[in-house]
Amino acid sequence: MAHIETNVIHQGANLDSSYHSITAPIYASSIFAAQDLDQRPPFDYTRSGNPTRKALEDTLACLEGGALASATGSGMSSIMAVLLMLKAGDHLIAPQCIYGGTHRILASIIQKFGIEITFLPDLNNLERLRENIKANTKMIWIETPSNPLLHITDIKALSEFTKALNAKILLVADNTFLSPYFQKPLELGCDLVIHSTTKYINGHSDVIGGVVVSKTEALGTEIANYVNCLGLACSPFDAWLVLRGLKTLPQRMEAHQKNALKLAEFLGKQAVVKKVFYTGLPSHPQFELIKKQMSGFGGMLSFELDTEKADLNKFFQSLKYFSLAVSLGGVESLIAQPWSMSHASMPEKARIEAGLSPAIIRVSAGIENSEDLISDLKTALEACCSCC
Ligand X SMILES: Cc1ncc(COP(=O)(O)O)c(C=O)c1O
Given 27, 99, 181, 278, the catalytic residue: 99
Q: Which of 51, 180 has the CB closer to ligand X?
A: 180
Q: Which of 196, 370 has the CB closer to ligand X?
A: 196
Residue 250 phi, psi (nearest 5): -60, -45
Going 209 to 365 to 287 to 315, the CA torsion angle's sign is negative
**In the complex, minimum distance from the CB of residue 101 to ligand X, in angstroms, rounded to a whole number:** 5
Is 130 a residue of the active site?
no
Given 104, 199, 252, 362, the catalytic residue: 199
Going 228 to 232 to 237 to 238, the CA torsion angle's sign is negative
Any contact of residue 147 with ligand X (CB under 6 A)? yes
**In the complex, minimum distance from the CB of residue 89 to ligand X, in angstroms, rounded to a whole number:** 26
Given 27, 104, 154, 174, the catalytic residue: 174
Strand order in the sheet with 300-305: 273-277, 300-305, 360-364, 334-336, 323-324
Q: What's the CA gap between 224 and 218, in Å, rounded? A: 10
Site mask for ligand X (CB under 6 A), range 58-97, x = bound: ----------------xxx---------------------
Is 372 a residue of the active site?
no
**In the complex, minimum distance from the CB of residue 2 to ligand X, in angstroms, rounded to a whole number:** 28
Q: What's the CA gap between 124 and 133, in Å, rounded? A: 14
Q: Which of 174, 238 has the CB closer to ligand X?
A: 174
Instruction: Kindly identify the residues of this chain, within the stretch 289-348, that bind ligand X according to CB under 6 A.
Output: 327, 342
The H-or-E segment that residue 141 falls in is strand 137-143
Q: Which of 147, 270 has the CB closer to ligand X?
A: 147
Q: Which of 49, 101, 203, 338 binds ligand X (CB under 6 A)?
A: 101
DSSP string, 292-338: HH-SS--SEEEEEE-TTTB-HHHHHHH-SSSEE-S---SSS-EEE-T
The H-or-E segment that residue 174 falls in is strand 170-174
Is 252 a residue of the active site?
no
Residue least distant from ligand X (Cβ): 75
Is 128 a residue of the active site?
no
Site mask for ligand X (CB under 6 A), range 251-290, x = bound: ----------------------------------------
Q: Which of 27, 99, 161, 181 binds ligand X (CB under 6 A)?
A: 99
The H-or-E segment that residue 69 falls in is strand 68-72
Q: How far is CA 378 from the centre of its chain?
A: 29
Any contact of residue 200 with ligand X (CB under 6 A)? no
Q: What's the CA gap between 5 and 308, in Å, rounded? A: 46
**In the complex, minimum distance from the CB of residue 24 to ligand X, in angstroms, rounded to a whole number:** 21
First CA to last CA across the chain, in angstroms? 53
Q: What's the CA gap between 327 and 351, in Å, rounded? A: 18
Q: Which of 90, 174, 238, 376 binds ligand X (CB under 6 A)?
A: 174
Q: Which residues bind ligand X (CB under 6 A)?
A: 74-76, 99, 101-102, 143, 147, 174, 176, 196, 198, 208, 210, 327, 342
Q: Which residues are catalytic?
A: 47, 99, 174, 199
